[in-house]
Structures are given as C-alpha cells and as structure tokens.
Chain A
Amino acid sequence: MKKTDVIIIGAGPVGLFAVHQLGIKGLKAVVIDNLDKAGGQCIELYPDKPIYDIPAVPECTGEQLTTRLLEQIKPFKTEFFLNERVDEVHQEKENWVVKTNNQKEFIASNIIIAGGVGSFEPRKISLKEAEKLEGKSVFYAVRNKEQFKNKKISIFGGGDSALDWALELSKFSKITLIHRRNEFRGAQHTLSEIKKLEKEGKVSIKTPCQIESLDNQSELKSITIKFDDGKTEKISTDVMLGFFGLVMKLGPIAEWGLNMNKKTIEVNPENFETNKKGIFAAGDICSYPGKLKLILSGFHEVALASVECFKRARPNEKYRFEFTTSSKTIQDRLGKK
C-alpha cells in the first residue's frame, strides 16, 4: 500500500493543478486516471480545439493546456497511475484507503475527486450478441495487434482510430471499414492511404451503413450490415472492432456514500469538502450554488481544497498563506534559485 498526503482522482486540468496547489504547500500527491494519459476531457474530447477563457492565456488548445500544466507541476515529481480506475474507497481511522481495478492500494488523509463527468469508457455496440462476444471476437481497442493477424476484420467507425487501425491491420489481414455516413474524418494523408488500399483491394469500404446483426452466437462467422437505402449485406468476419468514441461513466463514485446531486457531488463551497471529512470534489464533478463548469472554476476550487488538505495532513503545523512571488519556501519547492 502506497502512503501519500493526497490521492487525486482524475488527471484532467483540475487534477493537475491540484498537484501544484498541494505541492507549493509541501504536500505529496499521487494522481490516478482511467485513461492512458493525463489531460482528461481536454486531451480526449478536444485536443485541437482552442480554449479562450483561461486567464492570461488568450488562446490555447486542450493539448497545449495539458502540456503546460504538466510542465508547471514538474518540480513536484508526482507519480501518475494511469489506466487505473478507482473502484473502492474506505476509511481507516483518520485516513482513506483507495483501491483500483488493478488491485493497487493507496492510503492518505485526503482524497480530491477531480473526475470530470466520470471515467471514459469506449462506447459499445448495442446488440446483445456483441456483449457475449466481447473480448473474444468483438473489441473496442487494440492492445496486442498480433492477435489480429490473418483474420477477416470488420472495423466500425469514421474517425482517426478506425482509419489508423484499418491501415495498420491491413498489412496482414483483410479489412472491411464500415461507417454510418460517406465522410470520414481523419488526417488527409490517412484518408488518401485508405483510398489507395481500397483500389488495391486490401481494404473494402462500406458506407453509409450500420450494424444490423452478428451471425453465429458462440463464435463470430459473419456480420450483417444495413445500408441507408434499406439493403443489407452479409460480411464474412472473424473479428469486429468498434471505434465509436468514448462515453463518460460516473461508475463506482456513486457508491462511496457521498451526497450526490444527479451526477455531481455536493460540496461545501468554502473548502470543497464533501459530506465525508477529508474527501473533496472539484471541477465539473462538484456542485454548489452558482457552480459553473469552467476550467478556471476548477482551478479556484482545488486552491481552496488544498488548504483544508494541508490542515488534515499536517495537524501539528500551522498553515501560513504565502505568495509564490515572495515565499522562499515555495520557490525552493519549485526548484527556483
């Protein structure tokens, strides 16, 4: 079990800035996130979209904001636990113990939940049969491409993931690329590569159509797709890959005994503490009168929460408010001479 001062759940902008606010107060934190990288919605939903309302930053993309925040918290050498979803939270005397889906355990006097709208999970095909075949012949991510060698693969989706994997897997498998409309959205050179492979007969493209059914219940043999004009077509398939983007699921957070308001956690707007002492919520996931779901509000929320975290993590020390411009202690922590 790993011991720290604060466990931050969520590596989005607000979780990252929490590291900073805790770090300048001398508190250690770990960050846990279900995605494989830091950035949260900024990196997953709008990496290329400009954001115009970060104070003193007239314009930056979701990806730039993430990179800058990571740069800003570098001095604190914080440990990140990615691809980990927090499943359980329970109390042990004055501390909280957090357990992830991969059985990793953490203990701290404080938890900051900066979980956005919950964890990102791939959107799945809504057919019952697909559920039974998931992990056997229906997949929503490619973890090991070796297992997709010399197969007949049907790829669904019209974005970068679908296109990139169609290209990659076409090197050693027969690919059918299926999308609900005629337009794909992806990098220009990827699109022209795909068109080239279609001409060479290595990739077959079916649009505009959607999945109608999976044939053969225990083992996938073929799928049936339905075109917009009502025609159907059977496609011989061993493996089906779906890239329909991600959905946000609140998941286990709802079961931790916190006071919830729809999909958000109620907090005290003085310190962003929930109804459980030492558990805080900030960013899109918290609610209080007048709450605005803005990144800048999340920054403010973790700044205040970090003060309360200090009091709990260092009960024998007095909290002193300091400015980064004048505090020698803070400048030391930031590695500035």
Chain B
Amino acid sequence: MPKITYKDIQGASKTIEVDNGLSVMEGAIQNEIPGIDADCGGSMACATCHVYIDEKWFHKLPKAESAEIDMIDMAFEPKKNSRLSCQIIVSDELDGLELTTPEKQT
C-alpha cells in the first residue's frame, strides 16, 4: 500500500498507508490526521481539505482542474503548491508522497 506522509506546520509528521483509489483527504480522515476538515465531504465545494504538496511531488501529480484552482482561491493562505487533498487519488505512483497541512482551514 502506498505510504503518504502528512506533516503539520510545526513539523510534526505522520506516515500512513492509504489504500489505492482513496483520496489523500479520505486517507487523512480515516486515520484522524488533524488539520484536514473536509467539510463538504469531497465534492470540491469548500476548500477545507487544502494542503501544500512538497515541491518534489507537486509536478508529479496530475494537474488540478480549473474548478479545483478556483476553489483554492477560497482556501486559507493558498500558495503555489496548494492542492485540495480530496482531488488527489492515491496510487502506487504516489508512494512516498509528502504534504503539509496549513495552519488552519478556516
């Protein structure tokens, strides 16, 4: 199973195994990773599963659709490496993915 590392802004990190086919957001919710709220449940309607993808991984991910980019405008402190974790689907190619959760979501 691919391993995903969720870090927080203070530097604490947790690496968990997430099933292929789940989203990075679902992996976080099922494993009670703090810092990802996912209020809308993954329908790309709220921007509270916003994360910063580590530089070395950002360009390896499939590009965000325009609807996701529009929604990231609504996120708390978006940056260039911002993504919505509900839109990143876990696969073997993402084994080792590292990301950081923002200071807060709202």
- Taking A117-B39, A244-B74 as given, write out 19 further A-B residue pairs in contact, using a Cβ cutoff of 8 Å, ordered by the A residue number: A41-B45, A45-B40, A117-B40, A123-B76, A157-B73, A159-B70, A179-B73, A183-B69, A228-B80, A244-B73, A245-B74, A246-B74, A248-B39, A248-B46, A248-B106, A249-B106, A263-B37, A263-B39, A293-B41
What B residues does A123 contact at CB under 8 A?
74, 76, 106
Q: Give B contacts to A, CB under 8 Å.
A: 37, 39-41, 43, 45-48, 69-70, 73-74, 76-78, 80, 106
Interface residue? A46 (CB, 8 A): yes
What A residues does B80 contact at CB under 8 A?
228
Complex Cα distance, B45 from A183, in Å, reads 19
What B residues does A46 contact at CB under 8 A?
43, 45
Contact, CB under 8 Å: A41 / B40 = yes
Contact, CB under 8 Å: A126 / B106 = no
Complex Cα distance, B41 from A158, in Å, reads 24
Complex Cα distance, B45 from A248, in Å, reads 11
Interface residue? A180 (CB, 8 A): yes
Contact, CB under 8 Å: B45 / A126 = no
Cβ-closest 3 pairs across A and B: A245-B74, A247-B106, A45-B45
Number of residue pairs A-B, CB distance < 8 angstroms: 46
Given A45-B45, A247-B48, A249-B106, is A126 in contact with B76 using a C-beta cutoff of 8 Å? yes
Q: Give A contacts to B, CB under 8 Å.
A: 41, 45-46, 117, 123, 126, 157-159, 179-181, 183, 185, 228, 244-249, 263, 284, 293
Residue of A nearest to B105 (CB): A247
Min CB–CB distance B96 → chain A (angstroms): 28
Interface of A is mostly: loop
Contact, CB under 8 Å: B78 / A185 = no
Min CB–CB distance B95 → chain A (angstroms): 29
Pick 8 A–B contacts, CB within 8 A, sort by A: A46-B43, A180-B78, A183-B69, A247-B46, A248-B46, A248-B48, A248-B106, A293-B41
Complex Cα distance, B65 from A185, in Å, reads 14
Complex Cα distance, B73 from A180, in Å, reads 8
Complex Cα distance, B82 from A228, in Å, reads 14
Min CB–CB distance B9 → chain A (angstroms): 13
Min CB–CB distance A333 → chain B (angstroms): 35
Complex Cα distance, B43 from A41, in Å, reads 11
Interface centre among B39, B47, B76 (most CB of A within 10 A): B39
What B residues does A181 contact at CB under 8 A?
69, 73
Min CB–CB distance B39 → chain A (angstroms): 4
What A residues does B39 contact at CB under 8 A?
117, 248, 263
Complex Cα distance, B48 from A245, in Å, reads 12
Complex Cα distance, B70 from A45, in Å, reads 12
Contact, CB under 8 Å: B74 / A126 = no
Contact, CB under 8 Å: B40 / A126 = no
